[in-house]
Amino acid sequence: MTTDSNAKAYWSATLGLLTKVLIIWFLVSYGAGILFAEALNNIKLGGYPVGFWFAQQGSIYVFIALIFWYANQMGKIDRKFGMQED
């Protein structure tokens, strides 16, 4: 059983991680694909402008990596606060 302070610390750590994930998601999807596309299009990757590449393929690679990173970090938080599944 967890204590109230442990549960609050666990929830705080979980929300902190979720905030980081959402910031990365926003920067990659909306930032690189839309907001910074003009500037990124001056750089070429495989013959294509980087802004276009992020909007079409790059964001998908980042999102897949983000899923694995989130799962790893969440596992560490679970173990730290004794919430891991047996």
Domain annotation covers residue 86: no
Domain annotation covers residue 85: no
Is the four-CA dihedral 3, 7, 12, 14 of positive or negative sign? positive
For residue range 13-45, list pLDDT tens digits in order: 999 999 999 999 999 888 887 888 888 889 888
Residue 57, domain extent: 4-80
* pLDDT value at 1 more than 60: no
For residue range 68-77, list pLDDT tens digits in order: 999 999 999 9
Domain annotation covers residue 32: yes
Token pair, residue 6, equals 């442990």
pLDDT band, very low/low/confident/very high, at 86 (cuts 50, 70, 90): low
